[in-house]
Chains A and B, each alone.
Chain A
Protein backbone atom coordinates (compact mmCIF):
# COMPACT_ATOMS: atom_id res chain seq x y z
CA UNK A 1 0.00 0.00 0.00
CA UNK A 2 2.31 2.70 -1.18
CA UNK A 3 0.43 5.83 -2.07
CA UNK A 4 1.56 7.07 -5.45
CA UNK A 5 3.49 10.27 -5.21
CA UNK A 6 2.38 11.71 -8.51
CA UNK A 7 -1.19 12.89 -8.52
CA UNK A 8 -1.69 12.47 -12.17
CA UNK A 9 0.73 12.34 -15.10
CA UNK A 10 -1.35 14.98 -16.83
CA UNK A 11 -0.51 17.44 -14.13
CA UNK A 12 3.12 17.25 -15.07
CA UNK A 13 2.41 17.86 -18.72
CA UNK A 14 0.29 20.83 -17.94
CA UNK A 15 2.90 22.38 -15.76
CA UNK A 16 4.70 23.93 -18.70
CA UNK A 17 1.66 25.85 -19.85
CA UNK A 18 1.08 27.61 -16.57
CA UNK A 19 3.45 30.33 -15.60
CA UNK A 20 4.25 30.70 -11.94
CA UNK A 21 4.23 34.46 -11.76
CA UNK A 22 4.63 35.89 -8.36
CA UNK A 23 6.68 35.12 -5.36
CA UNK A 24 3.98 36.50 -3.10
CA UNK A 25 1.82 33.50 -3.78
CA UNK A 26 2.86 30.89 -1.31
CA UNK A 27 5.66 28.80 -2.70
CA UNK A 28 3.74 25.66 -1.94
CA UNK A 29 3.31 23.67 -5.11
CA UNK A 30 4.04 24.88 -8.61
CA UNK A 31 1.28 26.61 -10.52
CA UNK A 32 -1.11 24.17 -12.07
CA UNK A 33 0.25 21.35 -10.03
CA UNK A 34 -0.84 20.44 -6.57
CA UNK A 35 1.44 19.06 -3.96
CA UNK A 36 1.19 15.47 -2.91
CA UNK A 37 -2.08 14.96 -1.00
CA UNK A 38 -0.19 13.06 1.69
CA UNK A 39 1.42 16.38 2.62
CA UNK A 40 -1.75 18.47 2.61
CA UNK A 41 -2.41 18.15 6.31
CA UNK A 42 1.13 19.23 7.08
CA UNK A 43 1.08 22.10 4.58
CA UNK A 44 -2.40 23.50 5.03
CA UNK A 45 -3.98 21.72 7.98
CA UNK A 46 -3.32 24.36 10.62
CA UNK A 47 -4.26 27.34 8.48
CA UNK A 48 -7.46 25.68 7.29
CA UNK A 49 -8.37 24.64 10.79
CA UNK A 50 -7.90 28.20 12.02
CA UNK A 51 -9.95 29.54 9.13
CA UNK A 52 -12.75 27.15 10.09
CA UNK A 53 -12.44 27.83 13.82
CA UNK A 54 -12.87 31.54 13.27
CA UNK A 55 -16.21 30.76 11.70
CA UNK A 56 -17.66 27.86 13.63
CA UNK A 57 -15.68 27.92 16.87
CA UNK A 58 -16.20 24.26 17.63
CA UNK A 59 -13.17 22.08 17.08
CA UNK A 60 -15.15 19.01 16.04
CA UNK A 61 -17.15 20.89 13.42
CA UNK A 62 -14.07 22.74 12.17
CA UNK A 63 -12.23 19.45 11.78
CA UNK A 64 -15.16 17.92 9.95
CA UNK A 65 -15.20 20.86 7.54
CA UNK A 66 -11.46 20.62 6.92
CA UNK A 67 -11.77 16.91 6.24
CA UNK A 68 -14.67 17.47 3.86
CA UNK A 69 -12.61 20.11 2.09
CA UNK A 70 -9.57 17.87 1.74
CA UNK A 71 -11.66 15.04 0.34
CA UNK A 72 -13.41 17.37 -2.08
CA UNK A 73 -10.03 18.76 -3.11
CA UNK A 74 -8.83 15.25 -3.75
CA UNK A 75 -11.74 14.53 -6.05
CA UNK A 76 -11.48 17.88 -7.80
CA UNK A 77 -7.70 18.09 -8.04
CA UNK A 78 -7.64 17.71 -11.80
CA UNK A 79 -9.61 20.93 -12.05
CA UNK A 80 -6.93 22.94 -10.24
CA UNK A 81 -5.59 25.34 -12.83
CA UNK A 82 -2.85 27.06 -10.87
CA UNK A 83 -4.36 30.50 -11.27
CA UNK A 84 -4.50 30.85 -7.52
CA UNK A 85 -2.14 29.36 -5.01
CA UNK A 86 -2.84 25.91 -3.69
CA UNK A 87 -3.69 27.45 -0.31
CA UNK A 88 -6.21 29.87 -1.77
CA UNK A 89 -7.80 27.07 -3.75
CA UNK A 90 -8.10 24.88 -0.65
CA UNK A 91 -9.54 27.72 1.43
CA UNK A 92 -12.06 28.37 -1.33
CA UNK A 93 -13.27 24.78 -1.09
CA UNK A 94 -13.30 24.94 2.69
CA UNK A 95 -15.48 28.04 2.60
CA UNK A 96 -18.20 26.17 0.77
CA UNK A 97 -17.90 23.15 3.01
CA UNK A 98 -18.38 25.43 6.02
CA UNK A 99 -21.52 26.90 4.52
CA UNK A 100 -22.84 23.38 3.95
CA UNK A 101 -22.14 22.45 7.54
CA UNK A 102 -23.66 25.61 8.95
CA UNK A 103 -26.75 25.04 6.87
CA UNK A 104 -27.05 21.47 8.06
CA UNK A 105 -26.54 22.46 11.66
CA UNK A 106 -29.18 25.16 11.30
CA UNK A 107 -31.67 22.56 10.17
CA UNK A 108 -30.81 20.06 12.89
CA UNK A 109 -31.18 22.46 15.72
CA UNK A 110 -33.79 24.95 14.77
CA UNK A 111 -32.38 27.37 17.20
CA UNK A 112 -33.78 30.83 17.09
CA UNK A 113 -31.37 33.52 16.18
CA UNK A 114 -32.50 36.32 18.37
CA UNK A 115 -31.16 39.52 17.02
CA UNK A 116 -32.89 41.36 19.78
CA UNK A 117 -31.11 39.60 22.59
CA UNK A 118 -30.29 41.66 25.63
CA UNK A 119 -27.34 43.79 24.84
CA UNK A 120 -25.39 46.21 26.92
CA UNK A 121 -26.05 49.32 24.95
CA UNK A 122 -23.61 52.16 24.61
CA UNK A 123 -26.54 54.52 24.58
CA UNK A 124 -29.03 55.80 27.08
CA UNK A 125 -32.16 57.13 25.42
CA UNK A 126 -30.20 57.45 22.21
CA UNK A 127 -27.35 59.45 23.74
CA UNK A 128 -23.83 58.13 24.33
CA UNK A 129 -23.33 56.85 27.86
CA UNK A 130 -19.60 57.05 27.47
CA UNK A 131 -18.16 59.29 24.82
CA UNK A 132 -16.21 57.42 22.16
CA UNK A 133 -12.47 57.94 22.24
CA UNK A 134 -10.51 59.06 19.24
CA UNK A 135 -8.41 56.09 18.09
CA UNK A 136 -5.82 58.35 16.53
CA UNK A 137 -4.89 55.80 13.94
CA UNK A 138 -4.27 55.89 10.22
CA UNK A 139 -5.56 53.28 7.80
CA UNK A 140 -2.07 51.85 7.58
CA UNK A 141 -2.03 51.25 11.33
CA UNK A 142 -5.12 49.11 11.34
CA UNK A 143 -3.68 46.99 8.55
CA UNK A 144 -0.66 46.16 10.65
CA UNK A 145 -0.08 42.63 11.82
CA UNK A 146 -0.59 43.34 15.51
CA UNK A 147 -3.88 45.15 15.04
CA UNK A 148 -5.10 42.43 12.69
CA UNK A 149 -4.34 39.81 15.30
CA UNK A 150 -6.38 41.67 17.89
CA UNK A 151 -9.20 42.09 15.38
CA UNK A 152 -9.11 38.35 14.63
CA UNK A 153 -9.42 37.66 18.34
CA UNK A 154 -12.38 40.02 18.58
CA UNK A 155 -14.13 38.30 15.67
CA UNK A 156 -13.65 34.97 17.42
CA UNK A 157 -15.12 36.40 20.59
CA UNK A 158 -18.37 37.40 18.89
CA UNK A 159 -21.39 35.38 20.01
CA UNK A 160 -22.33 32.54 17.63
CA UNK A 161 -25.03 33.96 15.35
CA UNK A 162 -23.32 37.34 15.10
CA UNK A 163 -20.02 35.73 14.23
CA UNK A 164 -21.56 33.50 11.59
CA UNK A 165 -23.47 36.38 10.03
CA UNK A 166 -20.42 38.62 10.08
CA UNK A 167 -18.03 36.04 8.64
CA UNK A 168 -20.31 34.87 5.88
CA UNK A 169 -21.66 38.26 4.84
CA UNK A 170 -18.70 40.56 5.47
CA UNK A 171 -15.56 38.45 5.38
CA UNK A 172 -16.57 35.90 2.78
CA UNK A 173 -18.78 38.36 0.90
CA UNK A 174 -21.50 35.84 0.27
CA UNK A 175 -24.68 37.46 -1.08
CA UNK A 176 -27.30 38.35 1.56
CA UNK A 177 -29.91 35.99 0.15
CA UNK A 178 -27.61 33.00 0.49
CA UNK A 179 -26.52 33.94 3.98
CA UNK A 180 -30.14 34.38 5.04
CA UNK A 181 -30.95 30.91 3.76
CA UNK A 182 -27.89 29.43 5.35
CA UNK A 183 -28.51 30.94 8.77
CA UNK A 184 -32.27 30.86 8.41
CA UNK A 185 -32.82 34.49 9.25
CA UNK A 186 -34.73 37.29 7.56
CA UNK A 187 -32.89 40.03 5.70
CA UNK A 188 -33.65 42.49 8.49
CA UNK A 189 -32.36 40.06 11.06
CA UNK A 190 -29.18 39.52 9.11
CA UNK A 191 -28.60 43.21 8.86
CA UNK A 192 -29.15 43.62 12.60
CA UNK A 193 -26.74 40.79 13.36
CA UNK A 194 -24.05 42.25 11.13
CA UNK A 195 -24.56 45.72 12.53
CA UNK A 196 -24.34 44.52 16.11
CA UNK A 197 -21.29 42.47 15.25
CA UNK A 198 -19.59 45.60 13.96
CA UNK A 199 -20.48 47.60 17.04
CA UNK A 200 -19.16 44.80 19.21
CA UNK A 201 -15.95 44.66 17.23
CA UNK A 202 -15.51 48.35 17.70
CA UNK A 203 -16.06 48.07 21.44
CA UNK A 204 -13.77 45.06 21.63
CA UNK A 205 -11.00 46.84 19.74
CA UNK A 206 -11.33 49.90 21.92
CA UNK A 207 -10.99 47.71 24.96
CA UNK A 208 -8.28 45.34 23.82
CA UNK A 209 -6.15 47.62 21.69
CA UNK A 210 -6.51 51.06 23.15
CA UNK A 211 -7.25 50.46 26.79
CA UNK A 212 -5.25 47.28 27.04
CA UNK A 213 -2.03 47.81 25.18
CA UNK A 214 -1.64 51.49 24.78
CA UNK A 215 -2.29 53.15 28.07
CA UNK A 216 -1.11 56.56 27.18
Chain B
Protein backbone atom coordinates (compact mmCIF):
# COMPACT_ATOMS: atom_id res chain seq x y z
CA UNK B 1 0.00 0.00 0.00
CA UNK B 2 2.71 2.49 1.01
CA UNK B 3 4.84 1.33 -1.85
CA UNK B 4 2.06 2.14 -4.27
CA UNK B 5 1.45 5.51 -2.72
CA UNK B 6 5.16 6.22 -2.80
CA UNK B 7 5.23 5.23 -6.46
CA UNK B 8 2.27 7.45 -7.30
CA UNK B 9 3.60 10.48 -5.49
CA UNK B 10 7.16 10.10 -6.67
CA UNK B 11 6.55 9.54 -10.33
CA UNK B 12 9.03 11.43 -12.44
CA UNK B 13 8.52 12.85 -15.90
CA UNK B 14 10.52 10.13 -17.59
CA UNK B 15 8.40 7.39 -16.09
CA UNK B 16 5.16 9.29 -16.72
CA UNK B 17 6.15 9.65 -20.35
CA UNK B 18 7.04 5.97 -20.61
CA UNK B 19 3.68 5.02 -19.15
CA UNK B 20 1.84 7.18 -21.65
CA UNK B 21 3.70 5.59 -24.52
CA UNK B 22 3.10 2.13 -23.08
CA UNK B 23 -0.58 2.83 -22.64
CA UNK B 24 -1.26 2.69 -26.36
CA UNK B 25 0.12 -0.83 -26.51
CA UNK B 26 -1.08 -2.49 -23.35
CA UNK B 27 -3.33 -1.63 -20.42
CA UNK B 28 -1.66 -0.06 -17.40
CA UNK B 29 -2.16 -1.16 -13.83
CA UNK B 30 -4.37 1.00 -11.69
CA UNK B 31 -1.47 2.45 -9.72
CA UNK B 32 0.24 3.32 -12.98
CA UNK B 33 -2.87 4.99 -14.35
CA UNK B 34 -3.43 7.01 -11.22
CA UNK B 35 0.22 8.00 -10.99
CA UNK B 36 0.30 9.09 -14.61
CA UNK B 37 -2.91 11.10 -14.39
CA UNK B 38 -1.89 12.84 -11.21
CA UNK B 39 1.49 13.62 -12.63
CA UNK B 40 -0.02 15.06 -15.79
CA UNK B 41 -2.38 17.14 -13.71
CA UNK B 42 0.52 19.04 -12.21
CA UNK B 43 3.09 18.78 -15.00
CA UNK B 44 2.48 20.80 -18.14
CA UNK B 45 5.44 19.35 -20.01
CA UNK B 46 4.10 15.84 -19.58
CA UNK B 47 0.65 16.95 -20.69
CA UNK B 48 2.16 18.29 -23.87
CA UNK B 49 4.26 15.16 -24.29
CA UNK B 50 1.16 13.01 -23.83
CA UNK B 51 -0.60 14.98 -26.53
CA UNK B 52 2.34 14.38 -28.82
CA UNK B 53 2.10 10.66 -28.18
CA UNK B 54 -1.60 10.71 -29.00
CA UNK B 55 -0.96 12.49 -32.27
CA UNK B 56 1.89 10.13 -33.01
CA UNK B 57 -0.45 7.18 -32.47
CA UNK B 58 -2.98 8.74 -34.84
CA UNK B 59 -0.31 9.31 -37.44
CA UNK B 60 0.95 5.75 -37.05
CA UNK B 61 -2.55 4.30 -37.54
CA UNK B 62 -2.82 6.22 -40.76
CA UNK B 63 0.61 5.07 -41.89
CA UNK B 64 -0.41 1.51 -41.09
CA UNK B 65 -3.58 1.74 -43.18
CA UNK B 66 -1.73 3.25 -46.09
CA UNK B 67 1.15 0.87 -45.96
CA UNK B 68 -1.08 -2.00 -47.06
CA UNK B 69 -1.79 -0.21 -50.30
CA UNK B 70 1.04 2.15 -51.04
CA UNK B 71 3.90 2.69 -48.63
CA UNK B 72 4.28 6.28 -47.58
CA UNK B 73 8.04 6.14 -47.51
CA UNK B 74 9.31 8.37 -50.23
CA UNK B 75 12.87 8.85 -49.18
CA UNK B 76 13.95 5.60 -50.76
CA UNK B 77 13.27 5.44 -54.44
CA UNK B 78 11.80 2.60 -56.39
CA UNK B 79 13.52 -0.29 -58.08
CA UNK B 80 16.60 0.33 -60.16
CA UNK B 81 16.38 -0.62 -63.83
CA UNK B 82 18.70 -3.54 -63.23
CA UNK B 83 16.61 -4.79 -60.35
CA UNK B 84 13.43 -4.51 -62.42
CA UNK B 85 15.05 -6.53 -65.18
CA UNK B 86 16.19 -9.18 -62.73
CA UNK B 87 12.72 -9.47 -61.20
CA UNK B 88 11.04 -9.60 -64.61
CA UNK B 89 13.43 -12.34 -65.68
CA UNK B 90 12.77 -14.32 -62.50
CA UNK B 91 9.02 -14.20 -63.08
CA UNK B 92 9.38 -15.18 -66.74
CA UNK B 93 11.68 -18.02 -65.81
CA UNK B 94 9.25 -19.32 -63.17
CA UNK B 95 6.35 -19.07 -65.59
CA UNK B 96 8.22 -20.99 -68.25
CA UNK B 97 9.20 -23.80 -65.96
CA UNK B 98 5.61 -23.91 -64.78
CA UNK B 99 4.37 -24.29 -68.35
CA UNK B 100 6.94 -26.93 -69.13
CA UNK B 101 5.81 -28.90 -66.12
CA UNK B 102 2.24 -28.94 -67.29
B41 at the interface (CB under 8 A from A): no
B42 at the interface (CB under 8 A from A): no
Is the CB–CB distance between A38 and B92 below 8 Å?
yes
Residues of A within 8 A of B80 (CB): 59
Q: How far is the CA of A47 from the CA of B49 in the complex (A)?
A: 34
**CB contact under 8 A between A132 and B48, given known A74-B95, A139-B58, A142-B55:** yes
Within 8 A of A (CB), among B39-74: 45, 48-49, 51-53, 55-56, 58-60, 62-64, 66-74
Q: How far is the CB of A108 from chain B (nearest CB, A)?
A: 22
- B16-53 near A? 1/0 per residue, CB < 8 Å: 01100110010000000000000000000100110111
Residues of A within 8 A of B56 (CB): 142, 198, 201-202, 205
Q: How far is the CA of A126 from the CA of B98 in the complex (A)?
A: 62
Q: How far is the CA of A149 from the CA of B98 in the complex (A)?
A: 40
Is the CB–CB distance between A152 and B72 below 8 Å?
yes
**CB contact under 8 A between A198 and B21, given known A37-B91, A128-B45, A155-B63:** yes
Residues of B within 8 A of A142 (CB): 55-56, 58-59, 62
Residue count of chain A within 8 Å CB distance of chain B: 66
Q: How far is the CA of A3 from the CA of B99 in the complex (A)?
A: 9
A156 at the interface (CB under 8 A from B): yes
Q: How far is the CB of A171 from chain B (nearest CB, A)?
A: 5
Residues of B within 8 A of A199 (CB): 17, 21
A66 at the interface (CB under 8 A from B): yes
Residues of B within 8 A of A153 (CB): 73-75
Is the CB–CB distance between A49 and B67 below 8 Å?
no
A109 at the interface (CB under 8 A from B): no
Q: How far is the CB of A7 from chain B (nearest CB, A)?
A: 9
Q: How far is the CA of A199 from the CA of B17 in the complex (A)?
A: 9
Residues of A within 8 A of B49 (CB): 128, 132
Q: How far is the CA of A132 from the CA of B77 in the complex (A)?
A: 33
What are the 8 tightest A-B residue pairs by CB atom distance, in nearest-first order? A126-B12, A46-B78, A152-B73, A142-B59, A152-B72, A123-B14, A126-B14, A143-B62
B residues bordering A, Cβ < 8 Å? Answer: 12-15, 17-18, 21-22, 25, 45, 48-49, 51-53, 55-56, 58-60, 62-64, 66-80, 83-84, 86-88, 90-92, 94-96, 98-99
